[in-house]
Structure 1
Amino acid sequence: HKQISITYHFFIHTRSEDNMGSNVSSVHDVHSSMETKSALVLEIESRRQWRSLFDSMKGSDKLLVIDFTAAWCGPCKTMAPRVKEIASKYSNVVFARVDVDRLMDVAGTYKAMTLPAFVLVKRGEEIDRVVGAKPVELVKKIEKYNV
């Protein structure tokens, strides 16, 4: 008998605008981009997922960084790759992205009105925040509280 092995490889083609307003097309390897995304920044899709994460973090000394964002927020899009980069350097910090339009009650709880907003939480309590696209300030605060 012959054994046949088939490997599927999928690509997603996306169009977006770069900082200069030009349309940019890029091809993403789905397998690797999904792996990377899930490993670095948790996309919070529902209240149940949020509650589960929040409850699990309450009993932990780990730092939780909540990235409040929105599809229409330009500075949020600019910060997204920087947040992934920062998350890759702090494997013991949990990063969660919350779309304020999808989970308005969570955004309301943390009064995330100006975006992007990064709320730092430890044991269920807000300990600090960074408002605006300020990666250097975000790193400084992560360094301060990541004990």
Structure 2
Amino acid sequence: MGSNISSVYDVPSSMESKNGLIVKIESRRQWRLLFDSMKGSKELLVIDFTAAWCGPCKAMEPRVKEIVSRYPEVVFARVDVDRLMDVAETYKANTLPAFVFVKRGEEVDRVVGAKPDELVNKIEKHRV
């Protein structure tokens, strides 16, 4: 998937880092397209649940961009919980930031809180 993901998912506001991409999910349709396409894939999807008012989320943002650049084979999706409450509720993203790891449409792990080292460890564990 990698670098052409923004055109595939009609994601005009994706945030590119050096080698990776964070897909900023702005609508339910966009979420559904991404999620459905990942169901049949072996690729790891990391959903970054965040909110504009969340201080720890803002503090994690530069670290997340750095992590994304180290794992271009992993798909990262940023979901604002206030904008897409139903998606946040589906994954019980009640404490922020929350990072949910999904493979083939199923949650395989999660990291809750601003824990960049734990985030990296779990990416390492699930990316293959």
Q: TM-score, normalised by structure 2?
A: 0.85
1:138 alignment partner AA: L
The alignment status of 1:52 with 2:33, answered yes or no, reads yes
Quote how far apart the aligned CAs of 1:35 are.
4.8
1:119 aligns with 100
Distance 1:112 1:59, change over 3 A: same
Question: Which structure: greater strand fraction?
Answer: 1
Cα distance in 2, alignment partners of residues 57 and 121 from structure 1 = 9
Secondary structure of 2:109's counterpart equals strand
Out of 77, 80, 91, the position equivalent to 1:99 is 80
Cα distance in 1, alignment partners of residues 99 and 123 from structure 2 = 10
Cα distance in 1, alignment partners of residues 15 and 113 from structure 2 = 26
Secondary structure of 1:95's counterpart equals strand
Gaps of 5+ in 2: 1-13
Cα distance in 2, alignment partners of residues 138 and 78 from structure 1 = 14
Q: State the number of aligned residues.
A: 114
- Find runs of 4+ consecutive structure 1 residues off by over 2 angstroms: 33-37
Secondary structure of 2:52's counterpart equals coil
2:39 alignment partner AA: K
Identical aligned residues as a percent: 81
1:84 alignment partner AA: K
Gaps of 5+ in 1: 1-32
Cα distance in 2, alignment partners of residues 121 and 64 from structure 1 = 5
Greater Rg by CA: 1
Distance 1:72 1:94, change over 3 A: same
Alignment of 1:1-147 (within 5 A): 35-36=16-17, 39-147=20-128
Cα deviations across residues 102-146 of structure 1 (Å, max 9, x unaligned)? 000000000000000000000000000000000000000000011
Quote how far apart the aligned CAs of 1:40 are.
1.6
The CA RMSD over aligned residues, in Å, is 1.5
The answer to whether the Cα contact below 8 Å between 2:48 and 2:97 also exists between their aligned partners in 1 is yes
Higher-RCO chain (CA-CA 8 Å, sequence separation at least 6):
2
1:96 alignment partner AA: A
